Amino acid sequence: MKRAQLVFIPTPGMGHLASTLAFAKHLLDRDDRFSITVLIMKAAFAPTNHSLVQSIAASDTRVRFVHLPQVDPPPKELFFKSVEKFITEYVESYRSHVKEAIINHALSTSLPLAGLVVDLFCSSMIDVAHELGVPSYVFFTGNAAFFGFMLYLPTRHHQVGIEFRETDPESAIPSYVNPLPPGALPSLALNKEGGYISFVNHGRKYQEADGIIINTFSELESHAVSSFFNDGIPPIYTVGPMIDLKGKTHSGDNQAKQEIMKWLDDQPPSSVVFLCFGSRGSFVEPQLKETALGLERSGHRFLWSVRLPSRDDGLAKPTDAENLEEILPPAFLERTRGIGMICGWAPQVEVLAHKAIGGFVSHCGWNSILESLWHGVPIATWPLYAEQQTNAFQMVRDLGLAVELKINYRLGSGALVIAEEIEKAVKCLMEGDSEVRKRVKEMSEKSREAVIEGGSSYASLGRLIEAMMANVTVPARK
């Protein structure tokens, strides 16, 4: 039997690493002819949490990990000016270590190398693939529409030559049904400190890859996927939704999880609105007060993950809120006892799967959107950063799969989402027979059908495997 190996190159950081490993295991479960080597870059500032790596290394011998040496990160000041440029430069500084690791750990074995699978921030490693004479595939953890935006950036930059501005007219981008207003653009598009040009360069580089792997499914983003059928775009493989249904990639407080699930067990079906904003989502005290008032006025039961911004220089993750009595409106906790529960960290996947959950107020990270659709839970959009505004726009305007709370909100802007807006969105979200709820239930069924035999993503993954195996050669060592 013809066998081959793949080298995966994720961006440092648990979110990217978890997604990469989920896809690696997904691929191995589908086809046992592969073995996979994952190159681990060290996190720039914080100690790298290797618990996930250790658990997979112990349980699956088909995946091996090579830990790369530490490199000096770019100046910390760049992180605050542009996270995107900071990460891009940090990853680029690993190029020589990546090439050396591939030569020593992959090309030195008898098993032929089928290619490199690089994270969306690791487009510079496509050059390493060229140098070694092996194929490269981009693993894009966002959605197909946003990938289309990335492809659009180089074309636009050639015509305009500068970043987007908030005064620009709407942008007609082929992968979106409707033109994107400036308020719905990803924050990187407006960044004058290197974020915009970094992604222009990523968009150019993606077009040199041998294939693009996207965590989506064609039934969800049919317009975006069909927009890629043009000359010059590498083959697109939609392989999603890939979801960590058991929540294994996220560690949390087990006692807190038990308390949350016990409380949900006591609530009526589809009666609870869940508010959770990802690992980086947090709000200042005035916004927490407005949110509390909006929830109370909505009259609906709620489970609310409350996080405060970190007190350091912003590099650490948000912290669980203490002394809530002093932060929230007077007597709010007393008045809502029995109908509401406030927590810090929340086991998002397990919560969305619970029968008591009827709606999800979300930051619109792509993984959260896929998890919510899988479980048939409609979303009210409250994006915070990165490409979340663009995701919110697509879900509300293009797909009709979400209720608009906000689309153009940006964390750190100083703007408040007032209680009336939150109340209105929650009431709309929790309507039992709304058109959005019906559409989400239909898409839930399609998401589950996509990944089983005969489904669109199942077939797409099969085509990817065929392409990878067809390209297997033993390259000359360099």
What is the domain-level CATH number for residue 48? 3.40.50.2000
- Which amino acid, one-letter code, is at 20? T
Same domain, 142 and 280: no
For the ranges 11-15, 85-89, 171-175, which has the lowest average pLDDT?
11-15
User: Residue 47's pLDDT is what?
Assistant: 65
User: Residue 472's pLDDT is what?
Assistant: 82
Residue 215, in any domain of the structure: yes
Same domain, 351 and 427: yes
The two most distant CA atoms of the chain are separated, in Å, by 72
444-459 pLDDT, tens digit per residue, is 999 999 999 999 999 9
204-251 pLDDT, tens digit per residue, is 999 999 999 999 999 999 999 999 987 689 999 999 999 877 665 555
Residue 476, in any domain of the structure: no
Q: Is the pLDDT of residue 475 over 90?
A: no
In sequence order, the β-bridge partners of residue 119 are 139
Residue 415, in any domain of the structure: yes
Same domain, 152 and 287: no
User: Residue 329's pLDDT is what?
Assistant: 96
User: Residue 394's pLDDT is what?
Assistant: 98
The average pLDDT across 241-268 equals 84
Tokens of 340: 């509401």
Confidence class for position 168, pLDDT limits 50, 70, 90:
very high
In the block, residue with structure tokens 């990944």: 451
Residue 18, in any domain of the structure: yes
Nearest-angstrom CA–CA distance, 153 and 168: 15
Residue 249, in any domain of the structure: no
User: Residue 466's pLDDT is what?
Assistant: 97
Q: Are 287 and 417 in contact (CB under 8 A)?
A: yes
Same domain, 111 and 213: yes
**Local structure of residue 308 (DSSP, 8 states):** E
For the ranges 65-69, 145-149, 472-476, which has the lowest average pLDDT?
472-476
Q: How many domains does the chain divide into?
A: 2
User: Residue 477's pLDDT is what?
Assistant: 47
Same domain, 238 and 362: no
281-340 pLDDT, tens digit per residue, is 899 999 999 999 999 999 999 999 999 887 665 666 788 877 899 999 999 999 999 899
Which bin fits 232, alpha (ψ -120 to 50), beta or left (φ > 0)? left
Residue 405, in any domain of the structure: yes
Same domain, 110 and 185: yes
Residue 236, in any domain of the structure: yes
**CB contact set of 159 (below 8 Å; sequence gap of 6+):** none
Same domain, 140 and 268: no
Same domain, 458 and 390: no
Same domain, 331 and 421: yes
The average pLDDT across 16-38 equals 93
Q: Is the pLDDT of residue 143 over 60?
A: yes
Domain span at residue 382 reads 254-442
Task: Round the average pLDDT of the chain to a whole number and report it.
Answer: 93
Q: Are 89 and 74 in contact (CB under 8 A)?
A: yes
Same domain, 134 and 264: no
Residue 247, in any domain of the structure: no
Same domain, 360 and 225: no
Q: DSSP letter string over 41-69? A: PPPSSSPP--HHHHHHHHH-TTEEEEEPP
pTM of the model: 0.95
- Which amino acid, one-letter code, is at 35? S
Give the H/E segment covering residue 440.
Answer: helix 435-450
For the ranges 11-20, 26-35, 56-65, 359-368, which has the lowest average pLDDT?
56-65
In sequence order, the β-bridge partners of residue 341 are 303
What percentage of the chain reaches a pLDDT higher than 70? 95
- pLDDT higher at 388 or 52: 388
Same domain, 227 and 260: no
Nearest-angstrom CA–CA distance, 99 and 128: 6
Q: Is the pLDDT of residue 478 over 50?
A: no
